[in-house]
Amino acid sequence: MRKRCAEKGVGIDQCIASSVVHEFGHVLGLSHEQNRPDDPSSELCHRNDPETVIFTGDIGQFVYHTWGNTKFTPYDPNSVMNYCRIPYYGNTKLSLMDQVAVKVYYGNIPGFSTPGGWNGLVGRGIRTMRIPKLMINNLPYNAVLTESGIDSNHDGKYDNVYTLTITYNPSVQSISPVTLVGSATKVGSVINIKPGSKISFPLFKYSSAGKVVRVGHASVIKRADGWWIFDSYKYFYDIH
Ligand SMILES: [Zn+2]
């Protein structure tokens, strides 16, 4: 490490700080970004590094390690796990995608799961999205969006309409609360949410068989007939 930093003219303090951040990335399960087979810069910055390159003995012949088996995002040139980032060993800041990866795997964020696979086919099982912390009128709730499981227009697919079940939970902890934007009234212990109200998920994950398979952002809105529907839905990348 010291040698690498010296070669790049990086001071020892910066070198240590940057390495600590990087090594904690390994502790959390992140692998070296530059070892991805789709690393477009694999010719350049780490050719002489034994952690990255297996030397075959022939001059000019290199084989790159491909340690790590899950690709979370497209190749990220700014990841702290990337030896090729600029400045090399000069940056202790997690990239946006580093932050997302850690939140998705360790944070308590809204998550979809389905018992029967996720691919939009009949028989896949009814999808539920758990929302660890939903703020309504400044109070914290656990919430679950549950797909209807009905095919009211007989097109062979479940209709993508949802019910929202909420449970008051004053002790709920979460790094990523989401907030109801709209209007809700409380009658006794029952919360009535007005149609047109909306919940946005800046980050949610989709799991299948215990594995995260998709990450994105979305919002849902309550229709006049009482069903919730997705108002927007966008994902970053399918994880493989
Ligand atoms: Zn490393």
Residue ranges per structural domain of the chain: 2-98, 111-238
Distance 74 CA to ligand 1 centre (A): 19
Residue 198 predicted with pLDDT over 80: yes
Distance 32 CA to ligand 1 centre (A): 6
pTM of the complete model = 0.78
Span 121-129, average pLDDT: 65
Span 213-234, average pLDDT: 93
Separation between Cα atoms, residue 122 and residue 114, nearest integer Å = 12
72 and 101 Cβ atoms separated by less than 8 Å: yes
Residue 161 predicted with pLDDT over 60: yes
Separation between Cα atoms, residue 18 and residue 83, nearest integer Å = 11
Distance 9 CA to ligand 1 centre (A): 19
Span 212-229, average pLDDT: 93
Distance 23 CA to ligand 1 centre (A): 6
Distance 232 CA to ligand 1 centre (A): 37
The pLDDT, as a whole number, for residue 208 is: 79
Residue 40 predicted with pLDDT over 80: no
Span 6-25, average pLDDT: 85
Residue 121 predicted with pLDDT over 50: no
In a 10 Å sphere around its CB, with 0-12 CB exposed, 13-18 middle and 19+ buried, how is residue 81 labelled?
A: buried
Residue 122 predicted with pLDDT over 60: no
**pLDDT band with cut points at 50, 70 and 90 for residue 47:** low
Distance 84 CA to ligand 1 centre (A): 12
Q: Give me the chain's average pLDDT, please.
A: 82
207/145: higher pLDDT: 145
Distance 91 CA to ligand 1 centre (A): 14
Distance 187 CA to ligand 1 centre (A): 55
Percentage of the chain beyond pLDDT 90 is 40
Distance 82 CA to ligand 1 centre (A): 8
75/117: higher pLDDT: 75
Distance 54 CA to ligand 1 centre (A): 15
Task: Give the pair of three-digit tokens for residue 69.
Answer: 């088996």
Distance 12 CA to ligand 1 centre (A): 17
